[in-house]
Amino acid sequence: MKKLPIIISTLCLLIIGCFICFQIIATINRNTDTSLSSEDESMTDTESNPTPTKQPYLEILEHMTLEQKIGQMLIIRNSYTTMTPEYEAEIAAIQPGGYIIFDENITTLAGTRQLIADTRETIETASSITLEDGTIVKIPAILSVDQEGGSVQRLQSISDYPPEYIAPMQEIGASNSAETAYETGLLLAEQCKNVGLNLDYAPVADIYSNPQNTVIGNRAFGTDRETVATMSIALAQGLADANVIPVFKHFPGHGDTIADSHETLPIVLKTLDELEQNELYPFRKAIDSGAEIIMVAHIALPSITGDYTPASLSPTIITDILKEHLNYNGIVITDGLDMNALTDNYLNADIATKAVLAGADLLLTPASPLEAKNAILSAVELGTITETRIDESVTKILKLKLSRLNNTP
Cα distances (Å, whole numbers) of residue 64 to 60, 71, 174, 370, 373: 6, 10, 48, 18, 15
Confidence band (pLDDT; 50, 70, 90) for 52? low
Gap between the terminal Cα atoms of the chain: 109
Residue of higher predicted confidence among 264 and 303: 303
Residue 122 reports pLDDT greater than 50: yes
Residue 17 reports pLDDT greater than 60: no
d(CA 75, CA 102): 13
Phi, psi of 166 (to 5 degrees): -115, 135
Active-site entry in 160, 241, 262, 307: 262
Residue of higher predicted confidence among 210 and 338: 338
CATH of domain 146-404: 3.20.20.300
The confidence score (pLDDT) of residue 243 equals 97
pLDDT per residue as tens digits for the range 319-345: 999 999 999 999 999 999 999 999 999
pLDDT per residue as tens digits for the range 127-151: 999 998 889 999 999 999 999 999 9
Active-site entry in 118, 200, 206, 335: 335
> Nearest to residue 141, comparing CAs of 81, 72, 209?
72
- What percent of the chain is predicted at pLDDT more than 70? 87
Q: Is 33 a catalytic residue?
A: no
Q: Is 262 a catalytic residue?
A: yes
Residue 30 reports pLDDT greater than 70: no
Is residue 297 a contact partner of residue 250, using CB atoms and an 8 Å limit?
yes
